[in-house]
């Protein structure tokens, strides 16, 4: 085991390790690094070297997170970053053992995301003002989000060269620069083609955005905020009271596939989830909806069908 003489250099190397070896995006690597900064500050104040920290030291650090009111979900994320950091330190020869092996992660209640019905999605699409220049673009955006279950970041960076019309699929550059092939519906393809013919072909495209599919009025790539605004506005116009975001269309895509009988592994691949555990939340959504239907319609739960005896 060797001592850490320059923690700043170690943290820089750790961030490079996350991006180059673990395939994390720059944003995720920064988040993990920020979590490590919290630990380093705590240990420095306690007079403990990072490479000398014990499980007890780390447990006291977690207790401090609880004391300052950090929620369990955020605690779990920070602990995940700390565990990753100590795994890196051990690989680099700074640690003989890993003090995080026995470090417990707080239990997090499973939060089931909001899901739109097919009728609500149709109502959103019907609310689009097709007389406006951006109308056809917005319809193509909603159809693509729902048809392919894309993340917002994947939608705004989707390129014309990633669209295979004849084969009816798109190639997505997902998290960690991992590519996946996603089938696209004929409805979404039709709306994209109309957008290309009626709107995009008439635009002056800014340099660097020539291959970007969905453009703003100035001929540049859309922002995440703009997609959020479009979806929120359409929901208001459609009279939908649920609190939703563009990600809701991704949840709806997965849930509707599962309800239709799709294999969970296939849904995992289409969503680009690294772990099947992430995808399994849609099983819980499906079961909760089934439970609601049973409680609503089963004769034993309906007073109008009560036993007359």
Tens of pLDDT, residues 157-201 = 999 999 999 988 999 887 767 788 888 999 999 999 999 999 999
Question: Is residue 77 flagged as an active site residue?
Answer: no
Q: Judge whether residue 300 has pLDDT over 50.
A: no
- Residue 305 pLDDT exceeds 50: no
3-state secondary structure of 61: helix
Q: How far apart are CA 303 and CA 31, in angstroms?
A: 53
Which strand (E) or helix (H) includes residue 119?
helix 118-126
Two structure tokens written together for 35: 């979590």
Task: Pull the structure tokens for residue 129.
Answer: 């003002």
Q: Which one is catalytic: 14, 17, 146, 282?
A: 282
In whole angstroms, what is the distance from residue 62 CA to residue 78 CA? 9
**What 3-state DSSP class applies to 180?**
strand
Q: Is the pLDDT of residue 308 over 50?
A: no
Q: ∠ CA 179-181-182 to the nearest 5 degrees?
A: 125
Give the torsion sign (CA, 241, 246, 247, 249): positive
Would you call 282 a catalytic residue per the annotation? yes
Q: Which of 38, 175, 232, 289 is catalytic?
A: 175
Domains of the chain: 7-91 (1.10.150.130), 118-295 (1.10.443.10)
Annotated catalytic residue, options 15, 137, 139, 151: 151
Long-range contact pairs involving 9-18 (C-beta distance under 8 Å, separation at least 24): 10/50, 10/89, 10/92, 10/94, 11/36, 11/37, 11/40, 13/92, 14/85, 14/88, 17/88, 18/84
Marked catalytic residue, from 38, 83, 159, 247 = 247
Catalytic residue among 15, 137, 200, 250: 250
pLDDT digits (tens, 9 = 90+) for 123-152: 999 999 999 999 999 999 999 999 898 989
pLDDT in tens, 72-84: 778 888 888 899 9
pTM: 0.58
Radius of gyration of the chain (CA): 24
Q: Please state, in angstroms and rounded to a whole number, the distance separating the CA atoms of residues 213 and 225.
A: 17
Judged by DSSP in three states, 71 sits in coil
pLDDT at 6: 83
**Calpha distance 51→34 (Å, rounded):** 18
- Nearest Cα neighbor of 268 from 189, 178, 192, 187 is 178
């Amino acid at each position: 085991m060797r001592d850490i003489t320059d923690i700043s250099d170690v943290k820089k190397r750790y961030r490079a390790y996350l991006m180059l070896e673990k395939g994390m995006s720059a944003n995720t690597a920064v988040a993990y690094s920020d979590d490590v900064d919290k630990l380093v500050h705590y240990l420095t104040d306690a007079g403990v070297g990072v490479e000398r920290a014990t499980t007890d030291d780390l447990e006291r650090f977690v207790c401090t997170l609880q004391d300052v009111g950090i929620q369990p979900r955020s605690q779990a994320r920070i602990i995940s970053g700390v565990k990753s950091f100590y795994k890196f330190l051990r690989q680099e020869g700074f640690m003989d053992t890993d003090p995080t092996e026995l470090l417990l992660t707080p239990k997090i209640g499973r939060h089931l995301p909001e899901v739109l019905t097919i009728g609500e999605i149709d109502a959103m699409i019907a609310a689009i003002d097709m007389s406006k220049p951006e109308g056809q673009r917005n319809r193509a955006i909603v159809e693509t989000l729902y048809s392919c279950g894309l993340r917002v970041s994947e939608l705004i960076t989707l390129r014309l060269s990633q669209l295979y019309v004849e084969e009816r699929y798109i190639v997505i550059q997902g998290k960690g620069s991992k590519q996946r092939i996603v089938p696209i519906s004929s409805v979404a393809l039709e709306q994209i083609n109309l957008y290309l013919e009626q709107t995009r072909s008439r635009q002056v495209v800014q340099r660097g955005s020539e291959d970007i599919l969905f453009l703003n009025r100035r001929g540049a790539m859309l922002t995440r905020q703009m997609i959020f605004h479009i979806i929120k506005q359409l929901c208001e116009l459609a009279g939908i009271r649920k609190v939703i975001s563009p990600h809701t269309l991704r949840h709806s895509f997965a849930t509707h596939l599962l309800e239709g009988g799709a294999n969970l592994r296939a849904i995992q691949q289409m969503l680009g989830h690294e772990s099947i555990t992430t995808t399994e939340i849609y099983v819980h959504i499906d079961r909760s909806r089934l439970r609601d239907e049973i409680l609503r319609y089963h004769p034993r739960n309906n007073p109008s069908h009560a036993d007359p005896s």
